[in-house]
Amino acid sequence: MPGYILIIDAMSNRRIHLRAQLDTAAYPVELVESQSEGLVRIRQDSPDVVIVADDLPGLRLRQFCKLLRTSSKTQLTTIVVAVQRENHSARISALNDGAYDVIEHTADAAELKARMRSFMRSKHVVEGGRRRAVPETGRELAEAIPDFIPKTVAVFVRCSQTDSHVETCCTLDPSTGIAARDIDAQTARRAPHKDTDVYVLVETHPGDEARETLGALLAHPISCHSRILFVTDARGPGASPLDLGAHDQVPSTVSMAELALRIQRLARLKRDAERLRKTTNELEKKAYVDALTGLCNRAAMDEYLIRTDRALAQHPRRVALLIADLDHFKAINDNHGHASGDTILAHVAQTIGSRLRDGDFIARYGGEEFLIVLPNVGLEQAKSVAQRLRNAVAENPKTIEDGTVVRATISIGLAVAAQSDQVSTAELRRAADAALYDAKRNGRNRTEVAHRDALHGVPFPKIKVRI
């Protein structure tokens, strides 16, 4: 059941009032009156959001939050505590006990709906990131325990010339672990601080620079991953800051203690997201990078060649494909051992890769073979590149572990397609492979060029070409 919200409150009038304030057309809302009934319903079907009254009989909020956090089914369930109006101590207590957010029983309908949409959106983003970061085994990767918790950097943005509230907020107690700074809105938009965990935007009055700054921070490459806390008392028909992209919203009457707790929570979410992105990037790298040579692997090569075929079919241009093979590699392994053979192979890969342009492509094609694609390169230039690569390998020997200097060479098969040719990369690869066989047969450490006749025979697969 997507987008389902569970309200747990012993007082029926408050349950009904909260449901009336929510967008029941967008997501189902269910009501229960006790913690035990709520836990039964949660076990049956995990909700996206749980709203629980702070005065619920028998509720021990810290244990309730821990119970949901330790279950794989409800780890991402957002726990919200409903409190009496202006009860600052109850708000702080709820956040300390593990609640994600705190609302009032009489919360404004527009703000409450915006908060729910923000919760749903955040949950879906995290779920998508976790799915990408889970390997084929289905088990999530364990996170290393950090040696220390870094100090949170919070930047308070002055969005009005008469904004004294920012100066007050910057006086956060150092014991909170927050390093507070302040800048003006124009500086924030033009040159955001790269080490900022949380930006705090204070909207003093409608029409100041707060919402414009919000959009700019979300779009800037330096600040797009920072979290944004929006302070405003604005009410009205306009879009909520939460719908505009803010990660949290509080009124100007928020206590300094609650403000610090919310900033720290947002900073933790930012660090969690950074770890998730790092894990995802590492997994993607492992999926497409050959571990020994650091080059693209066969999977990456296949995807690149498919994209190249599509591009050539739509916009024909010259292209050269080379297959390079390490000469006498079996003899290297036999004479020096497989570990040294791997060292030589990695060295040759680095030597070749460092001599290519940024737009060129290289992958480990087989055991000791490399496939190279040179976009928009004709025959003479491709021959020159092949000669440069062979010379670089031959002139850069490698000293292995026992002190022996091993000098390797490569043979290259080269196939070139003109702009008017209607051939696929599969045919180029086949022609280059045949040319490589000729290079091996004719003495090795040489380049052989595929005959033009060898290029014709396999057109672009299922792609209509217009000349």
Which two tokens mark 115? 């908060």
The DSSP secondary structure of 282-298, one letter per residue, reads HHHHHHHB-TTT-SB-H
From residue 181, alpha-carbon distances to 169, 171, 173, 191, 198 in Å are: 10, 10, 13, 14, 11
Q: Do the beta carbons of residue 59 and residue 78 sit within 8 Å? A: no
From residue 228, alpha-carbon distances to 103, 131, 184, 196, 243 in Å are: 19, 25, 15, 10, 12
| Host H or E run for residue 146 | none
How many other C-beta atoms are found inside a 10 Å radius of the C-beta of residue 44?
7
From residue 454, alpha-carbon distances to 181, 414, 450 in Å are: 67, 11, 7
Q: Do the beta carbons of residue 430 and residue 465 sit within 8 Å? A: no
The Cα–Cα gap between 376 and 415 comes to: 13
Which two tokens mark 93? 């207590």
Alpha carbon 422 to chain centroid, angstroms: 38
DSSP conformation class of 30: E
Q: For residue 348, with 0-12 CB atoms within 10 Å meaning exposed, 13-18 middle and 19 or more buried, which class applies?
A: buried
Annotated catalytic residue, options 368, 369, 427, 448: 368
Does 258 participate in catalysis according to the annotation? no
The Cα–Cα gap between 223 and 62 comes to: 33
Q: Do the beta carbons of residue 81 and residue 62 sit within 8 Å? A: no
DSSP conformation class of 331: H
Active site residues: 368
